[in-house]
Structure 1
Amino acid sequence: MAAVTELSKGSSKLIRAKDVFGWCERNNVDYQGEGRSQEPLWEADREEARGQRRLLKFKSGECKQSRVGWALPVHAAKAREAAARLGWHEQVWDGEKWDWMGGVPQVQRRPVREEPVSAEPAWELSIEGA
C-alpha cells in the first residue's frame, strides 16, 4: 500500500509489480519474507480482498506469471486508461474470488516464423566445402 501510494505521486497512476519491488528494495522493505518469493506481497493482496478496498488491481492474464499492477481508487480513471493501453483488465473481489471486469485479457501470441528446411543439415555442407 505504501509503495503504490508513493509511486502514484508521479505521472504514472497504474503501478506495476516490478516498480513496487524496486520501491521495496530502495526502502529496505522485505517483500520476499520467509517462504516463497514474493509471498508477502500476495498475502497483502489477499488481505486487501478481505478488508476495505484501498487498491484497484489489474492483471495482464490469468496465469501466475501475468503482469500485475495496482492503483489508488482516487486515480481510477487514469489507471484504467493506462491498463486499457496495455491490454490489462481490472479484477474485483466478489467476496470469494477475484473476478475479471470486462472478461479475461486475451494474450496475443507471437507469430510463428516458418523457415524452409534444407534436405541436408548445414553442418554437412560446411564439412564438404572444407
Structure 2
Amino acid sequence: MRVITPGLLVAAVTELSLSRSAKLVRLKDVVAWCEWKGVDCQGDGSRQQALWDADREEARGESRLLKFKSGECKQSRVGWALRPHADRAREAAALLGWREQLWDGEKWEWLGGSPPVVTRRPPPRHERGGSEPGTDDSAQGPPPG
C-alpha cells in the first residue's frame, strides 16, 4: 500500500473538488478517497500522521492547496481547496465558521491571527411526556413502570 504524499493529497483534493460545487474538500472525504485508492493516510505514526506530514510538506513545497480548519484542537474539522477555487472555498468555509490556515515556514498560522471561536450546540433536551414546561420532573417521583 502506498503512503500518502503531497502529490497524492493534491490528487485527492483535485479529484474530489471536480465532483463538487462547494470546492471545499473535507478530511473525511480525503480519508475515504485514500481507502478507495489503496493509499495509507496513517503511515507509521499516530492517527493519520502520514496525511498531516503530506499536508505540511505540500505547504512547504509547491503550496497548491489552501487549508481550512474549524478550531485549534486536534478534533477540529479540516478541509482543503485548490488555489484556483479559493473564492468559492473561502465562502464555503465562512458558512461553516472555519478559518484559513497559512504555513509560515515553521508552523500553521491562522489567517487573521487567531483560531475561530467554536460555537457549542446546546445539549439535547430530553422531555418526558405530560410534563409542563418549567416544572421539575424529579419532584414528581419515579416514572410508573
TM-score by length of 1: 0.84
Change (3 A) 1:22 1:118: same
Measure, in 1, the Cα distance between the counterparts of 2:122 and 2:41.
Answer: 36
Is 2:83 the partner of 1:73?
yes
2:38 paired with 1:28: yes
Note the 1:49-128 alignment, pairs <5 A: 49-102=59-112, 103-112=114-123, 116=136, 118-119=138-139, 122=142, 126=144
With 102-111 and 50-59 compared, the bigger mean Cα shift is at 102-111
Q: Which ranges in structure 2 are unaligned for 5 or more consecutive residues? A: 1-9, 126-133
Q: Secondary structure at the match of 1:8?
A: helix
Distance in 2 of aligned mates of 1:60 and 1:120: 43
| 94-103 vs 20-29, greater mean Cα deviation | 94-103
Secondary structure of the structure 1 residue equivalent to 2:18: coil
Query: Displacement, 1:21?
Result: 0.7
Match of 1:4 in 2: 13
CA spacing shift, 1:66–1:115, aligned 2, 3 Å: farther
Query: Displacement of 1:43 after TM fit?
Result: 0.7
Identity of aligned residues (%): 65
Question: Residues 115 and 93 of structure 1: is their aligned pair in 2 closer, same or farther, counting only changes over 3 Å?
Answer: farther
- Displacement after TM superposition at 1:95 (Å): 2.0
Q: Secondary structure at the match of 2:40?
A: coil
Give CA-to-partner distance per residue, 1:56-102, whole Å, 9 cap, x none.
00000000000000001010001001101111000011222211113
